[in-house]
Amino acid sequence: MNIAIIGATGNVGRKILEVIERKIFFINELFLVASPKSAGQKINFNGREYEVYNLETYDFSKAEITFFAAGGKISEKYAEKAAKHTTIIDNSSFFRMDEDVPLIVPQVNPEAINILKKNIIANPNCSTAQLVIVLKPLHDEFNIRRVVISTYQSVSGGGKASMDELIEQTKLSLDKKKINSKNFTKQIAFNAIPHIDVFADDGYTKEELKMINETKKILDNKIELTATCVRIPVLVSHAESVNIEFEKNFSLEKIRSLLNCADGCEVLDKREDGGYITPLEAEGKNETYISRIREDKTKKNTLNLWIVSDNLLRGAALNAVEIAELLIKKNNE
């Protein structure tokens, strides 16, 4: 199997490499591709140095599977043409809501891979991926009616430059120097910004709409959702406070056991100091963690949860590689 990564020098591209390196994933040739500025750079993978190719001159017929992790504009410009020669797994939002493109979290809707009309598979938004992996086992058992989400999202969701800027702003702020925000709409150091991606006419941000629409596409169009997405000064992992209303009644014991058994989920919920997960602890882990499981006593059949996951892994690289594994399995059947 020959594999290519477009955007191999970025946050998600580098994580895809790490995930592939950790898995027993048979790779014949690997092609690492980025912008002209990175062409010629060397990247180490499995003890061998690989040269970074320039996307402008890269030949897409070299690999059977190509991961796109270079932003929506690059996916828009190159993916459909490239898909004539290679199967695309796209991390950007560009194709996610395209009816002919499956949007997949392998633990939730693996069957969607059977509608591969354009030879492109979309990877969901990072906040969506960790949400649906938790909602799926609960929906199967109790039928979800409505979900209210508030996110606490790390800056790595905005790419490598945003991580560098948080570190820089933190230093400047401690030194009491002037801060000019470049990748954020306001200062992010020691702050929280209730605005991720652009505003739509109805006042929601595109990040919030992505969570709502993608969850419906992956899980069930009938579920009603509303979201508020907030950027916080954390480097990696997104946290979500989630309120879920079910059609059927539930017991907390059953919720815990369903989530503990669900593939990709782990319950960490002790009602004591430190008996819950935080973004720092989820960094580098494959699991999506669930804490603070409790009834919402103001509404019938309603539950509160705290969900935390490494956005670069479950929300991007790990999910993308698991889609590739699903594809390989399907092709070998």
Nearer to ligand NAP, 120 or 312 (CB): 312
Nearest distance from C-beta of residue 170 to ligand NAP, angstroms: 19
Nearest distance from C-beta of residue 140 to ligand NAP, angstroms: 25
Concatenated DSSP letters of 237-304:
-EEEEEEEEESS---HHHHHHHHHHSTTEEE---SSTT-S--HHHHTT-SSEEEEEEEE-TTSTTEEE
Cross-strand pairs, 117: none
Residue where the block lists tokens 């209303």: 245
Contact criterion met (CB below 8 Å) for 69 and 94: no
Nearest distance from C-beta of residue 144 to ligand NAP, angstroms: 23
| Beta strand 65-68 pairing with 3-6 | parallel
Nearest distance from C-beta of residue 87 to ligand NAP, angstroms: 17
* Residues near ligand NAP, by CB under 6 A: 7-13, 34-35, 37-38, 55, 69-72, 74, 91-92, 126, 156-157, 159-161, 311-312, 315-316
Q: Which residue is nearest to ligand NAP (CB)?
A: 10
CA atoms of 69 and 66, how far apart (whole Å): 10
Contacts (Cβ under 8 Å, ≥6 apart) of 324:
3, 25, 65, 67, 89
Nearer to ligand NAP, 156 or 169 (CB): 156
Nearer to ligand NAP, 69 or 244 (CB): 69
Q: Which of 139, 229, 238, 265 is catalytic?
A: 238
CA atoms of 229 and 200, how far apart (whole Å): 14
CA angle 260, 244, 191 (to 5 degrees): 95
Nearer to ligand NAP, 223 or 316 (CB): 316
Nearer to ligand NAP, 92 or 213 (CB): 92
Q: Which of 126, 139, 229, 265 is catalytic?
A: 126
Contact criterion met (CB below 8 Å) for 68 and 60: no
Is-catalytic flag, 85?
Answer: no
Nearest distance from C-beta of residue 77 to ligand NAP, angstroms: 9
Is-catalytic flag, 238?
Answer: yes
What are the catalytic residues? 126, 238
